[in-house]
């Protein structure tokens, strides 16, 4: 059974809401295993057998939220070459979080779906729908 891991760091719960929508979309596809965890609670084992990895991080003070840094350092130790990667996150006025995650996933050798999915501040209904469809589309690609 293909696995999709969704790991996020969220300061105000906005990126977490996006992660949940991605997971809900993926779970509409029969035969997909979904793991969703806050970066504080996640371990590298959560992505070991994942065919697709979605990483979410909000932007805080013009940078990716710091709570994602330790997890990204752990991922750098793994062989993630050829895995599908997706980045998502909420931001205020700048939005550096998602491009930072994309660059890190590329440095791991992952096949990254670009440009990533973002929302400005609280995710709108349309943002949640985009996340849902993203999760569903990635999951469909894993089972076909």
What's the pLDDT score for residue 61?
Answer: 83
pLDDT per residue as tens digits for the range 27-85: 999 999 999 999 999 999 999 999 999 999 988 888 888 999 999 999 999 999 999 99
User: In the chain, pLDDT over 90 holds for what percent of residues?
Assistant: 88
CA distances from 57 to 28, 90, 109, 119 (A): 24, 7, 19, 11
pLDDT score of 93: 79
The string of DSSP codes covering 38-91 is: ETTT--GGGTTT-SEEEEEE-EETTEE-GGGHHHHHHHTTS--TT-EEEEEEEE
């Amino acid at each position: 059974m293909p696995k999709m891991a969704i790991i996020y760091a969220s300061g105000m719960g906005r990126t977490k809401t996006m992660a949940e929508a991605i997971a809900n979309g993926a779970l509409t596809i029969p035969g997909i295993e979904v793991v969703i965890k806050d970066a504080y609670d996640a371990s590298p084992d959560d992505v070991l057998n994942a065919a697709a990895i979605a990483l979410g991080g909000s932007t805080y003070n013009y940078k990716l939220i710091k709570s994602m840094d330790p997890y990204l350092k752990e991922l750098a130790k793994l062989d993630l070459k050829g895995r599908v990667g997706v980045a998502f996150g909420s931001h205020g006025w700048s939005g550096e979080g998602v491009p930072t995650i994309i660059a890190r996933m590329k440095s791991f050798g992952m096949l990254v779906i670009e440009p990533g999915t973002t929302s400005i501040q609280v995710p709108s209904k349309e943002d949640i729908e985009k996340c849902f469809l993203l999760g569903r589309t990635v999951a469909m690609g894993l089972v076909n």
